[in-house]
Chains A and B, each alone.
Chain A
Amino acid sequence: MTLPRVLFVTGKGGTGKSTVAAALAIALSRRRPTTLADLDRRLSAAAALGAVLEDSATVKVTGSLDAVALTPRAELEAFIERIVPIRAISRRMLRSRTFGYVTAALPGLEAFLLLERLRIMAGDAALEDRYLVIDAPASGSAVELLSVSSGVKGIAPGGTLNRLADSVDSFLTDATRFGAIVTMTPEDLAVREALEIAATMRERLGIVTVAAIMNCVPDLLFDTSELAALNSLGGHARLAVRRNAAHQQAALAAPRFAAAGIPTFSLPMMFTPAMGPAEVEKLGRVLDRELLDR
């Protein structure tokens, strides 16, 4: 399927956003050079691929995959240095505690600058024919982050920030440049939150969700008659029912997303004693086959 340059991966906490972002980046990097951008200070997505990343530095994961960490603080510093060209003053400004409190009280200045950075990276990605995968915050914070540019326009009626907000807005709503991917697990709450965030992004922000990814789906092992035969085996029966229930929960979610025009893709539950780069690569191969080949 045709994907936008920038893929913003979000979902309920605990649904494996970082794993999915990492797997997606691996899959895309087989076709085009790809950058995996981590908005999480802990760099979980890069770590899932076994890459060690220093703050705001770029690291090569494979020949065609880079990982980069983006932090609001670093973006704020870059912004201040841009608008206050005298380094002594800009440094002084950043060190000032008062300045820190005031920017903290501003409605999402740091978040806004992060979006602006993504817009610039998207432009570069288009020029270099690259993909950019973003391991974004969990649903609630992601919506806050994405809504920030309209907020900035409200409080800064003129000036540099207002102009930037306009261009960030048109970037986020341009389906060829920016798209969201929502992650979930086969649990009612996670599915509902994924549907909600996709609806919020579409209705309130004009952002397209290009795919929903159902993570941790166990393969179907037992049919109904087999489950019925397990009555006498308490613990084993419960474990079998649990596996089947998760599988069915995943199957039930797809039509709900289809009704919203969003294709759903499943990633298998990795029943392995460890979840390392090898497992993420496997998931990447699934996405390569199921999502990208479509």
Chain B
Amino acid sequence: MKPRAAQLKPSARPRHPAHPESLDLRSQSLVICLGPGGVGKTTISAALAVRAAVIGCAVDVMTVDPAPRLLDALGLGADSSEPVEVQLEGIAHARRGGGSGHARLRALRLDPKRTFDSIVARYALSDAARDTILENRIYRNLSGALAGVADYMAMEKLLELAANPSTDLLVLDTPPAAEALDFLDAPRRLLELLNSRAVSLLGAPAGLFRSRLRMVDIAARAVLAAFDRVTGLNLLSDVQSFVRSFDGMYEGFSARAALAQDKLRAPDTAIVIVTTAESSRIAQAREFIGALERGGLRVAAMVVNRVIAELPDAAELASARIAPSLKRKLKRNLADYAALKTREQVSLSALRNSLPGGAVLMVAPDLGREPRTIADLAEIGRSLRAG
């Protein structure tokens, strides 16, 4: 077996130019992991980050909803919304040679509410304007995990972290998504709400501005008013004051969103889709790829997590000196897992056939246990291989 590190070197030549062997972490500045829930996205994000640190990069990894064990592994507390240095001792001799010449790993947890509050504080024109926003009912719902705000905040935090010149690579874990673009599209959705002419004019007295209002806006305003009356939500005034309180802040928001969009399309940004070999997940992953391509975004790699590790050799059993009954059981056990492996291969080849050009397919073999330590994450990172 050749050393895994060699595959990650920039000099390693891919065998097929259309589908490189491995994701070259050293030439990326941002890696974004997307995928459905329950596939181990956070684990893979952390494993990629540990791997990059081991090969000499200064890395930050931002997780969104880590399992308690993984939090422990990364040394994160419940309240680590600022980067915390992760101890890599005993993992590998973190070699020098990253862009900054200083290998390290820092981890942090995204706190969407706090991030949003701090952005509002940054762009608000006055303290009074800031307080009005923070107390608004719509804002409170927006900032509480609903309507993709966590996604938007991850993008915001990403820009903040990416601006740090001492960081070579930022690895971003994302919230579980049903649709690929949920996450990447969040800034645009929020901006459209803030910029919506109809919403901002909802409260304008009839007659005023009318000439500038399109029919569409008038209709929207009418239906919203009707909706409010029937449902008893009395939301109009809240929506309106929310949007109005963003007056003057819109420029700041939209400039940031544009930056984030540029960052996503930068040549040194790699979008990685994480999935498992289960056929329904593979189908979902393929939908993700399609949606990203339609959105003009390129998928750099697919990681299939928890694939069944290499099975032992059946021939070993023939010569083994054990009871025949035990031998029969071992044969059956092997046949059972071989059947699962076959199922997995069918899914993987379907995925391979629909892989976009230039994308890498990698598999992460199942550790047989939940990753609990940095060493486990390093092992997953090291064992990532072409699938």
Contacts and interface: CB of A to CB of B under 8 A. Distances in A.
Interface of A: 12-15, 18, 40-42, 44, 47, 80, 83-84, 89, 92-93, 96-99, 101-102, 104-108, 138, 140, 144, 155-162, 187-189, 218, 221-222, 226, 229-230, 232-236, 238-240, 242-243, 271-275
Given A107-B146, A161-B232, A189-B67, A101 B279 contact: no
Contacts of B276: 14
Contact of B192 (A97, A144, A157, A160): A97
B259 interface: no
A263 to B, nearest CB: 24
12 contacts: A14-B38, A84-B226, A98-B198, A98-B224, A102-B193, A104-B147, A155-B137, A160-B231, A238-B368, A239-B311, A273-B340, A273-B346
Across the A-B interface, give the 6 residue pairs with the lowest CB-CB distance, nearest first. Answer: A159-B232, A13-B38, A235-B312, A14-B38, A13-B37, A93-B223
A271 B224 contact: no
A239 B368 CA distance: 9
B330 interface: yes
Contact of A101 (B199, B231, B320): B199
Interface of B: 36-39, 65, 67, 69, 137-138, 141-142, 144-148, 176, 178, 189, 192-193, 196, 198-199, 216-217, 219-220, 222-224, 226-227, 230-235, 239, 276, 278-281, 283-284, 310-313, 316-317, 320, 322-323, 326, 329-330, 332-337, 339-340, 342-343, 346, 368, 370
Given A156-B231, A236-B334, A273 B343 contact: yes
A105 B193 contact: yes
A179 to B, nearest CB: 23
A196 to B, nearest CB: 11
Contacts of A107: 141, 144, 146
Contacts, number: 180
Q: Quick one: which of B217, B231, B322, B329 has the most chain A CB within 10 A? A: B231
B286 to A, nearest CB: 11
Contacts of A162: 232
Given A89-B223, A271-B336, A105 B142 contact: yes
Given A83-B227, A271-B339, 15 more contacts: A13-B176, A14-B37, A42-B280, A102-B193, A106-B233, A159-B233, A189-B370, A222-B333, A226-B326, A234-B312, A236-B334, A238-B368, A243-B333, A271-B335, A271-B340
B183 to A, nearest CB: 15
Nearest to B321: A232
Given A106-B141, A138-B38, A272-B343, A18 B280 contact: yes
Nearest to B192: A101
A179 B343 CA distance: 34
A127 B199 CA distance: 44
B312 A98 contact: no
B231 A242 contact: no
A15 B67 CA distance: 16
Given A160-B232, A189-B69, A229-B326, A92 B280 contact: no
B232 A101 contact: no
Nearest to A151: B141
A218 B279 CA distance: 20
A233 B312 contact: yes
A221 B226 contact: no
Contacts of A239: 311-312, 333-334, 337
A105 B280 contact: no
A33 to B, nearest CB: 27
A15 B281 CA distance: 12
Contacts of B226: 84, 89, 93
A14 to B, nearest CB: 3
B232 A138 contact: no
Contact of B330 (A18, A140, A157, A233): A233
A76 to B, nearest CB: 11
Contacts of B370: 187-189
Contacts of A274: 343, 346
A97 B176 CA distance: 25
A135 to B, nearest CB: 11
B120 to A, nearest CB: 15
Contacts of B233: 106, 155-156, 159, 161
B334 to A, nearest CB: 7
Contacts of B38: 12-15, 138
A221 B336 CA distance: 11
B280 A102 contact: no
B322 to A, nearest CB: 6
Contacts of B193: 101-102, 104-105
Nearest to B305: A14
A191 B284 CA distance: 25
Contacts of B216: 96
B234 to A, nearest CB: 8
Contacts of B234: 156
A221 B368 contact: no
B178 A41 contact: yes
Nearest to B197: A98
B39 A13 contact: yes
B323 A229 contact: yes
A232 B320 contact: yes
A84 B223 contact: yes
B240 to A, nearest CB: 10
A18 to B, nearest CB: 7
A188 B224 CA distance: 48
Contacts of A160: 230-232
A24 B283 CA distance: 23
A155 to B, nearest CB: 6
A108 B231 contact: no
Contacts of A101: 189, 192-193, 196, 199
A108 B233 CA distance: 13
A176 to B, nearest CB: 30
A15 B37 CA distance: 11
